[in-house]
C-alpha cells in the first residue's frame, strides 16, 4: 500500500449516504393527528342542534389543537430533515380539510354566510390547482401574506366556533372580514406570481428550442 489517500490518488470518493426520513416521524404523526381530528371536530361542533356552548367549546379545543399541530409539523419537518412524500401530500390535505369542514359546518348551522365559505374555499382550491398547473416551470413559495392569511382565517373561524355574544360577536365579524380580504388579496398575488412564473418558463423553453436549431 502506498499510504496515499484515495482522493489524492485520483480515485473518486463514494457519494455520501443520505438518510431518508421514515414515515413514522414526529412531523408526520402530527399531520396524521390533524387528519384524525377532523371527524372528531365535526361531531363535536354538530352535536345535537349545534348550539350547545359546552360542545362548541370542545369543538374549539379540537380546532385549536389542529391549528397548533399545523404550525409545528412543518417547522419540525424542515428543521430536522423529516420531509417525506407522505408529508408533502398529507399536510396540505389536512390543512384544507379541517378549515373547509369548519367553514361548511358553520354555514350549515347558519353562523357564517355561505358566500364567505364559498370565497375562501374557491380561493384555496383554485390556488392549489394553479400550483400544479405551473409546477413544471417552478414552485410558488408560500408568502408572508399567505401565512398571515392562514393565521387570520384560523383566528376568525375559531371565534365563530365558540358561542360569543355582544362585543365579542361583533369583533369576530371584523376578524373574519380581515381574513376574507387577505384571502382574496393573497389569492390575486399568487395568480400574478403564477402568470410571471409560467411566462418565464415558456420563454426558457423557447430559448432552448432555438438554441437546438
For 45-56, how does the pLDDT look when each residue is reduced to its tens digit (9 = 90+)? Answer: 999 899 999 999
Q: What is the mean pLDDT of residues 64-71?
A: 86
| Residue 34 near residue 98, CB atoms below 8 Å | yes
| 170 inside domain | yes
Residue 10 is predicted with a pLDDT of 54
CATH at 152: 1.20.120
Condensed to tens digits (0 to 9), the pLDDT of residues 149-193 reads 989 999 999 999 999 999 999 999 999 999 999 999 999 998 998
| 21 inside domain | no
Residue 169 CB contacts under 8 Å (≥ 6 apart), including other chains = none
| 152 inside domain | yes
| Residue 160 near residue 172, CB atoms below 8 Å | yes
Please state, rounded to an integer, the average pLDDT across all residues of the chain. 83
Question: Taking 90 as the threshold, does the pLDDT of residue 129 lie above it?
Answer: no
| 7 inside domain | no
Quickly tell me which residue has 392569511 as its cell. Answer: 149
Helix (H, G, I), strand (E, B) or coil at 135: coil
| Residue 51 near residue 5, CB atoms below 8 Å | no
Angle, to 10 degrees, between the axis of helix 114-134 and the axis of helix 85-108?
160
Question: Taking 70 as the threshold, does the pLDDT of residue 98 lie above it?
Answer: yes
| Residue 111 near residue 172, CB atoms below 8 Å | no
* Cα 116 from Cα 89, distance rounded (Å): 26
Q: What is the mean pLDDT of residues 91-119?
A: 92
Lowest-confidence pick of 18-22, 87-91, 121-125 = 18-22
| 168 inside domain | yes
Question: Taking 60 as the threshold, does the pLDDT of residue 195 lie above it?
Answer: yes
| Residue 90 near residue 98, CB atoms below 8 Å | no
**Distances 189 to 76, 115, 123, 146, 148 between C-alpha atoms, Å:** 28, 21, 12, 9, 14
Residue 12 is predicted with a pLDDT of 52
User: Which of 125, 127, 182 shows the shortest CA–CA distance to 153?
Assistant: 182
Condensed to tens digits (0 to 9), the pLDDT of residues 9-44 reads 555 555 444 455 666 777 778 888 888 999 999 999
Quickly tell me which residue has 376578524 as its cell. Answer: 175
DSSP H or E run through 191:
helix 167-212
- Range(s) of the domain holding residue 45: 26-136+143-212
Domain count, the chain: 1
Q: What is the mean pLDDT of residues 78-82?
A: 69
Please indicate whether residue 106 or residue 91 has the higher confidence score (pLDDT): 106
| 16 inside domain | no
| 13 inside domain | no
pLDDT level of residue 131 (50, 70, 90 thresholds): confident
Question: Taking 70 as the threshold, does the pLDDT of residue 87 lie above it?
Answer: no
**Distances 51 to 40, 63, 64, 155, 161 between C-alpha atoms, Å:** 17, 17, 19, 20, 10
| 106 inside domain | yes
Please give the full DSSP string across 37-83, using - where no structure is assigned: HHHHHHHHHTSTTS--HHHHHHHHHHHHHHHHHHHHHHHHHHHTT--
Quickly tell me which residue has 401530500 as its cell. Answer: 89
Q: Does the reported pTM lie above 0.85? A: no
Residue 198 is predicted with a pLDDT of 86
Amino acid at each position: 500500500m502506498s499510504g496515499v489517500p484515495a482522493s489524492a490518488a485520483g480515485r473518486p470518493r463514494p457519494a455520501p449516504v443520505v438518510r431518508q426520513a421514515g414515515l413514522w416521524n414526529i412531523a408526520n404523526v402530527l399531520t396524521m393527528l390533524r387528519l384524525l381530528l377532523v371527524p372528531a371536530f365535526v361531531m363535536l361542533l354538530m352535536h345535537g342542534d349545534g348550539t350547545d356552548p359546552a360542545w362548541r367549546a370542545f369543538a374549539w379545543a379540537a380546532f385549536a389543537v389542529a391549528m397548533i399541530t399545523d404550525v409545528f409539523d412543518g417547522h419540525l419537518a424542515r428543521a430536522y430533515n423529516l420531509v417525506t412524500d407522505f408529508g408533502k401530500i398529507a399536510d396540505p390535505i389536512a390543512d384544507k380539510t379541517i378549515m373547509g369542514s369548519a367553514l361548511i359546518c358553520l354555514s350549515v348551522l347558519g353562523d357564517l354566510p355561505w358566500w364567505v365559505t364559498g370565497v375562501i374555499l374557491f380561493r384555496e382550491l383554485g390556488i392549489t390547482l394553479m400550483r400544479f398547473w405551473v409546477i413544471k416551470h417552478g414552485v410558488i413559495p408560500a408568502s408572508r401574506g399567505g401565512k398571515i392569511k392562514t393565521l387570520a382565517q384560523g383566528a376568525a373561524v375559531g371565534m365563530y366556533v365558540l358561542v360569543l355574544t355582544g362585543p365579542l360577536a361583533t369583533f369576530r365579524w371584523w376578524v373574519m372580514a380581515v381574513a376574507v380580504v387577505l384571502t382574496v388579496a393573497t389569492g390575486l398575488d399568487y395568480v400574478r406570481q403564477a402568470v410571471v412564473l409560467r411566462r418565464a418558463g415558456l420563454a426558457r423553453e423557447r430559448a432552448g428550442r432555438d438554441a437546438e436549431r
